[in-house]
Amino acid sequence: MPKTLGMRCRECGEEYPLSPIHVCELCFGPLEVIMNWEEIAPRVSRKSIQAGPPSMWRYHDLLPVEGPPCVGHNVGFTPLVKAERLGKKLGLNNLYIKNDAVNHPTLSFKDRVVATALTKAREFGFDTVACASTGNLANSVAAHAAEGGFKAYIFIPSDLEQGKVLGTLVYGANVLAVKGNYDEVNRLCAEAGGKYGWAFVNITLRPYYGDGSKTFGYEIAEQLGWRAPDHIVVPCAGGSLISKIYKGLNEMNRLGLLENGVPTRMYAAQATGCSPITTAIQTNAEVFRPQKPNTIAKSIAIGNPADGYVAMDTVRKSAGWAADVTDDEVIEGIKLLGSTEGIFTETAGGVTVMVTKKLAEQGRFGADDLVVIAITGNGLKTQEAVQGHLGAPVLIQPNLDALDQALQTDKLLQVV
Amino acid sequence: MAISVLIPTPLRKFTNNQEAVQASPGSVATLLAELEANFPGMEARLIGPDGELRRFVNIYVNEEDIRFLQGLQTPIADGDSISIVPAIAGG
Ligand SMILES: Cc1ncc(COP(=O)(O)O)c(C=O)c1O
Ligand SMILES: [Zn+2]
């Protein structure tokens, strides 16, 4: 029996056979894969998962692909780090960082969604993949396409950080830099749609792509000793990741894998310069208003989030909340995480750290609550953001006098 | 000059698989009524029971989201290009 039975519209419930379509014909709502839980549940246990590889594929039974992975065998199972020093700063005694800044191979959580989507792309028989991306998805699709021998067409906004552009080109992908913001890139790709017979990872394969993010949630719970945390703070762009983490925790609970049910409250983090989701939540609005992004947090600068409503539902259902932070705070957040935990995150991580700080100051967490910050991308890719904000090396001649003299100056090290 | 309307894949059943169709000047609202007259059933896919654009549908007039313009009252003139696009994920 197959693991996946079909697809269902999240908005109106209409069902469809498994195929590379992504929206409901009746209402344009997002489609989700219907898993065959009767088939899957009996064979999944803590033991069966622990017997799997140290990667996201230890949860293969719970992912919407039939066969083994065709690419990305080593994606996932990233460290869950107890953040003692950052915790002290924020007044949190049980703070953890889920660190996808070191995800293999392209240093962001997007490797999870791409490994899932390209495995499905091969199952559907595609030989060419594509995506519209704010950078991280671009890197990951290009890398996994190279690994799997797919042709790749990558669409990015033309003002992306150098690291994200180079980190796409190096894999030999065709890169199209579109003069416009991400929402315009997305529109173009939607219009191109099926025209060229490519599998757009975030369009054609969206239902499969999205579910790859569930593994971020599975791993947090397994790494905490099969417990769901009290709070998770997640950066939001299109709004998919936050809902899939929550979906993952609830699936584990239904399978009887968790100690404590799912007490988890989900918190959305955005940059003030692109905050359609967090604004809607903070103002208790029914609908979100699309925005024209203006922030250095480019990876999460999506003004018209396709899963915005899903993200809002997730936050509300879980009794969580939302906050946004300015670009100055984003830089401060990157430095704070670096100087307290030795983890260099990109702009999205700066957002998430500072939103966590803000929520802590609002008194939303108990001091002993278990709080997890989702760090989803790597700082080496967005160096422009902190360039000029970190001080500079102290230049000296190679002799002891020069060293002695330099050590007198107050340019050197204040320890945080 | 003609007004062209780009039809997304999920609606091409109505247009006999045509990717684009022509329309007359007016507003987005009159455009939707015209589409309904030519391709019965199409309007209900785009407009919800509350009379508003469904929340997962985006309509662009000359590459601008009508939510940033005047919504369903956004004017459409000769030479404009309209595109109807489902919301899509990304990042
Ligand atoms: C580093 C990083 N974090 C978070 C996100 C948000 O993901 P989603 O679009 O699922 O909300 C993205 C999306 O591109 C990202 O690149
Ligand atoms: Zn539907």
According to the model, what pLDDT value does residue A409 have?
76
Contact A279, A345 (CB under 8 A): no
* pLDDT confidence bin for A327, thresholds 50/70/90: very high
pLDDT at A194 over 90: no
Residue A185 near residue A132 (C-beta atoms within 8 A): yes
Q: What is the DSSP letter of A43?
A: G
Predicted confidence at residue A22, as pLDDT, reads 87
| Residue from A24, A26, A27 whose CB has the most chain B CBs within 10 Å, to mutate | A27
The residues, any chain, with a CB within 8 Å of residue A360's CB and separated by 6 or more, are A90, A91, A92, A371
Chain center to CA of B15: 13
Q: What angle do CA A49, A50, A53 make, to 5 degrees?
A: 85
Mean pLDDT score of chain A, rounded to an integer? 96
Can you say whether the dihedral through the CA atoms of A143, A146, A150, A154 is positive or negative?
A: positive
Contacts of B70 (CB under 8 A, 6+ apart): none
Do A4-71+110-209 and A80-107+214-385 come out as alike in CATH topology? yes
pLDDT in tens, A202-261: 998 999 999 999 999 999 999 999 999 999 999 999 999 999 999 999 999 999 999 999
- Is A300 touching ligand 1 by the criterion CB < 6 Å? yes
Q: Is A245 near ligand 1, meaning CB less than 6 Å away?
A: no
pLDDT of A139 reads 98
Measured CA to CA, the distance from residue A238 to residue A235 in angstroms comes to 10
- For B85, the enclosing helix (H) or strand (E) is strand B81-86
- Nearest C-alpha in A relative to B90: A202
- The answer to whether A183 faces chain B, any CB pair under 8 Å, is yes
Is-contact A44 A100, C-beta < 8 A?
no
Q: Do A28 and B67 touch (CB under 8 A)?
A: no
Q: For the residues of A1-17, what is the DSSP string, one character each?
A: --SEEEEEETTT--EE-
Q: Is the dihedral of CA A170, A175, A180, A181 positive or negative?
A: negative
For chain A, helix, strand, coil in percent to 5 are 45, 15, 40
Cβ of A382 closer than 6 Å to ligand 1, yes or no, is: no
Residue A414: is its pLDDT beyond 70? no
Q: With 50 as the cut, is the pLDDT of residue A307 above it? A: yes
Distance between Cα A26 and ligand 2 center (Å): 5
CATH class of A80-107+214-385: alpha beta
CATH number for B3-86: choose from 3.30.2270.10, 3.40.50.150, 3.40.50.2300, 3.10.20.30: 3.10.20.30
Reported as a single tens digit per residue, the pLDDT across A264-276 is: 999 999 999 999 9
- Cα A406 from Cα A361, distance rounded (Å): 39
Give the count of beta carbons closer than 10 Å to the beta carbon of residue A414. Answer: 7
Q: How far is CA A58 from the centre of its chain?
A: 19
Record the tokens describing residue B8, joined without a space: 């997304």
State which H helix or E strand residue A156 sits in.
Answer: strand A151-157
Do A190 and B8 count as a contact with CB atoms less than 8 A apart?
yes
Cα A177 to Cα A135, A154, A165: the distances in Å are 11, 8, 9
Confidence at A408, pLDDT banded by 50, 70, 90: confident
A134 vs A301: CA distance, rounded Å: 7
Residue B49 at interface with chain A, using a CB cutoff of 8 Å: no
CA dist A53 and A109 (Å) reads: 18
Residue A193 above 80 pLDDT?
Answer: no
**pLDDT per residue as tens digits for the range A340-394:** 999 999 999 999 999 999 999 999 999 999 999 999 999 999 999 999 999 888 8
Q: Tell how far CA B28 is from the center of its chain.
A: 7
Q: Which of A207, A109, A179 is nearest to B88 (CA)?
A: A207
**Ligand 1, from A211, A300, A312: best to mutate by most atoms within 8 Å of Cβ?**
A300
CATH (one of 3.90.470.20, 1.10.3720.10, 3.40.50.1820, 3.40.50.1100) for A4-71+110-209:
3.40.50.1100
Averaged pLDDT, A42-50: 98
The DSSP secondary-structure symbol of A268 reads: E
* CA A263 to centroid of chain Cα atoms: 21
DSSP letter at A343 equals -
The SS3 call for residue A206 is helix
Which secondary structure element, helix H or strand E, spans residue A199, and what is its range? strand A199-200
Instruction: Give the domain ranges of chain A.
Output: 4-71+110-209, 80-107+214-385
What is the average per-residue pLDDT within A53-68?
Answer: 98
Contact A341, A83 (CB under 8 A): yes
With a cut of 90, say whether residue A415 has pLDDT above it: no
Ligand 1 contacts CB of residue A239 (under 6 A): yes
Q: Does B29 touch chain A (CB under 8 A)?
A: no
Where does the pLDDT of residue A413 fall: very low under 50, low under 70, confident under 90, or very high at 90 and above? low
Q: How much is the average pLDDT of A24-52?
A: 96
Q: pLDDT band at residue B88, thresholds of 50, 70 and 90?
A: confident
Using the predicted structure, report yes or no on whether residue A416 has a pLDDT greater than 50. no
3-class DSSP state of A288: coil
Contacts of A142 (CB under 8 A, 6+ apart): A152, A154, A167, A168, A169, A170, A171, A172, A173, A175
Provide, as residue numbers in chain B, all residues whose Cβ is less than 8 Å from the Cβ of A203: 88-89
The DSSP code sequence of B7-48 is PPGGGTTTTTT-SEEEE-SEEHHHHHHHHHHHSTTHHHHHB-
A358 forms beta bridges with: none
- C-alpha distances in angstroms, A355 versus A140, A268, A269, A323, A366? 26, 9, 6, 6, 16
Q: First vs last Cα of chain A: how many Å apart?
A: 57
B27-77 pLDDT tens trace = 999 999 999 999 999 999 999 999 999 999 999 999 999 999 999 999 999
pLDDT in tens, A127-184: 999 999 999 999 999 999 999 999 999 999 999 999 999 999 999 999 999 999 999 9
Residue A335: what pLDDT?
A: 98
d(CA A160, CA A224): 36
